[in-house]
Every structure is written in C-alpha cells, then in structure tokens.
Structure 1
C-alpha cells in the first residue's frame, strides 16, 4: 500500500453525478461547495452516507438544522438547498432573501424573541447608515 491509499479520505458525488475519492484535508473551495450543497458526501458505491457519519463535524456539509441569523451566506445557501432550492438559485439569492424564505423555524413558524430582535436590528442597519450619510452631507 502507498501513503495515498492510507490517507484519510471521503467520497463525494460531483455536480455531474460521478463519485470521487478525495483525500483529507479538503481544499477550501471543495469544502465551500460541500457546505452549499453543490457536492454531496456519499459512500464509496455512491449510496447516501449514513446520517451519523455525515454529521461528524469533520467534513463540512449543508446544515442539518436552521442556522442562526448571523451565520454566513454560504451556510444559508446550504440550508436553502437542504429545503429544496437548487444551489444555483440559492447562490443567486441574497442572504436576506434566504432568511425570509427559510429562516422561520418550521416547528413554531415564528422567530424566537432574540432572533426577532436581531432581525429588526439587521433590517434597520442599512437605514441607519443612509441616515448617517445624509446627515453628514447635509452640513
């Protein structure tokens, strides 16, 4: 056996449907595509990977639960893909659009109080910046 055969690895289904063996650690662009749902972790034979293996925290993948509002856009893209949106459409949407469509907790259909307050602050931030600029130029 060579060092390559002994190296830790994962199997990934590419965008065209082929299965590839990738050595760890993964390149950050591959990790990003896994997180966004463009690539999917699978078993060597291409079958779906066991949930407990997929959620090992070592290899990134789309989120398994709704991300917090302050999560980066890539995480929200992954969440949208998990919920049925295509990766290309999710990538084209703004983070705010993804939060509006997929940010509601499916169990309660409402945001928690801290999340709602955070969302109000996020929504108000652009208006505050505009008001600050206008106030500065008005002098």
Structure 2
C-alpha cells in the first residue's frame, strides 16, 4: 500500500517533531504549592461587610486554588457548586482544616461541601467573622470556648 503525501497549505507549520510538553513539570512532580495569606480575624471584624467579603473572597479563592491546583483567579465563585469546582471529601477536609486554623472559627465540613457556590461559603464566613454584635454571627470564636455552628 502506498501512502499519498499531501503538501501542507502555505503558511501552515506542521513541525510534528516539536515537543509540546517542554513547559510541563516532569511526570510525578507536584505543582508548586501556592502561598495563601489569611486575613487577620480581628481586622475582619473591624471592617464593614463589603470590605470583609472582598478580603474573604481573595482568601477563599487562594485556598481553593491551592487545594485544587488551579489559578485562584480562574475560580468561578458564583456560578458553580463546590462539588462542581472539584471540592470533594479529601480536599474539603484540607480546606476545612486550613480555614479553621487561619481564621480561628469552626467550619462545618458538610455545609462547605454542599454549598451552592464558593460565594455562599464566603458570605457565611463574612457573617461569622463580623463584629461581636453582628446579627449574622452564628458561631463564636474558638478562643471563647463557646461551641461554634458552621461556616
């Protein structure tokens, strides 16, 4: 059987010898860990709801990017459920632990996993981290020793 050689159209570069994987990390290498800086809980309580929500948005995007190994700016916080973003039980536990340690509040894993969006999680955190007299305060800080509800 004879193969028919067809020339490439003018302007097309069909250099099939080029290795397109040059920019990828070696097989088995982990993606570099992103450094996420958590906002200060006392500072969050001192600012208004809009600023607190913006600070938590940046923080939650960073944490999601870290556990999902994606760029934080590429995360759709409003239109996708946590599950559809790729947050499952294992990375949900990691996310929960990181947020609890950084923010000093209890984060309910089931509520985190079932959130309709990351924006819902952000709003819940903003309510928890508001001023002590906030009507949205549904959980006490760990330092008070009072049981906390959920994030």
- Say yes or no: TM over 0.5: no
TM-score by length of 1: 0.31
More strand per residue: 1
TM-score by length of 2: 0.29
Larger Rg: 2
